[in-house]
Structure 1
Amino acid sequence: MYMKKWIFVLLALIGLTSGYLYMQPDDPGAGKITLQGLNFHADLQPALLEASSQGKPVFVYFRSEYCGWCKKFEEETFTNQSVIKTLNENFILVSIDVYRQKNETRDFKVRGTPAEIFLDSNGTEIKRIPGYTETEVFLDIVNKIAKYKEA
C-alpha cells in the first residue's frame, strides 16, 4: 500500500513537470509565441533590435489569456491570409501579455485589451488601436503603415 502511494506521487510529479516543460516556450521570457498563423516575439527588446537592423516597423499586440475580445480578434484577424502575409512581410511582431508583462503594459500606458501599437524601426509610436477592431479595418491600417514604411 505504501509503495502504491509513492508511485502515484511520482507519476503525479512527472505529469505536472511535463506540463510545465511543455508550457515553457509560450512563456514571455522564452522568446517566441505563436498566435494562429503568426509568430511573435514575446519580448520587445529583441524585436526592436531586429526592426532596426531590417528597417521594418514593429507591431505590438497587447493581450490577455482571459480577454474574450482578444480571442475573437485572434480567431478572425490572425487567421486572415491577407493579414498574415502583410504582417509577416512588413513588420516585426511582438505579443505582450498584460498580466505577465506589467512593466511593458505600464510603459505603453495600455489600459485594456486587445490593444495594438505600431512603432517605427526606432521604437517611436506610429499608431495606436485601442480595443477590438474588425479584420478589414485592421488590414486597411496595416496596409497604410506598410506603404508609409516603403515611401
Structure 2
Amino acid sequence: MKKWIKWIFISLALSVLVLGYLYSQSNDPGSGKITLKELEFYTTPEPAFEDAKAQDKLMFVYMRSEYCYWCNKFEEEAFTNQSVIDKLNGNFILVSIDVDTQRKEITNFGVYGTPTGIFLDPNGTEIKRIRGYVENGTFLNTINEIAKLKEA
C-alpha cells in the first residue's frame, strides 16, 4: 500500500513540474512574445521597433511586474475590454517589459514604478507616458487620442 502512495506522490510532483515548465515556456521573455489576458505582446523592444516601422504603427510599451497589484488590476480591466483590445491591436505594436527580470529596459526607458505605459511613434520618439494605475475609461480615451494623432 505504501508503494502506491509513493507513486501517486511522484506522479503528482512530475505533473506539476511539467505543467510549470510548459507555462514558463509560453510566457518566457526569451520566447519573444507573451499573452496578457486577450493581447499578445513582444517581450523585447527591438523586434517591436522593426514591426512598428514596417507597418507604420505606434507602439505601446507596458512596464509591469507579476506581483504588482495595480498591474494585475489594470490588466484585468483594460486587457479584457473589447474596445481597448480592438484599438490596441488595430493601431499599436505592443511590448511588455517585466521590471523584475528586464532591468536594462527599465533604465533605457527611465521607469521608476509599475504599472507604466509609454506610447511611442514608429521612430521610437515618446508621445505620452502614463505612470501608475488608470481606470479603463481613462486608458481608452488616451489610446483613442493617441491613435487620432497618428491619423492626422
TM-score where L is the length of structure 2? 0.89
Identify unmatched segments of 5+ residues in structure 2. Answer: none
Identify unmatched segments of 5+ residues in structure 1. Answer: none
Query: Per the alignment, in what secondary structure is the counterpart of residue 48 of structure 2?
Result: helix
What is the identity, as a one-letter code, of the residue corresponding to 1:94?
A: V
TM-score where L is the length of structure 1? 0.89
Deviations 1:81-121 (A, max 9, x none): 11111000000001110001110011111111000000110
Aligned twin of 1:117? 118
Aligned twin of 1:52? 53
The change in CA–CA distance for 1:86 and 1:20 in structure 2 (over 3 A counts) is: same
2: CA distance, partners of 1:38 / 1:65: 16
Matched, 1:89 2:94: no
Deviations 1:52-92 (A, max 9, x none): 00000100000001000001101111111111110000000
Matched, 1:36 2:37: yes
The change in CA–CA distance for 1:10 and 1:83 in structure 2 (over 3 A counts) is: closer
Aligned twin of 2:23? 22
Instruction: Let me know the Cα RMSD of the aligned residues.
Output: 2.1
% identical equivalent positions: 62
Aligned twin of 1:129? 130
**Kept in 2: contact 1:64–1:98 (CA 8 A):** yes
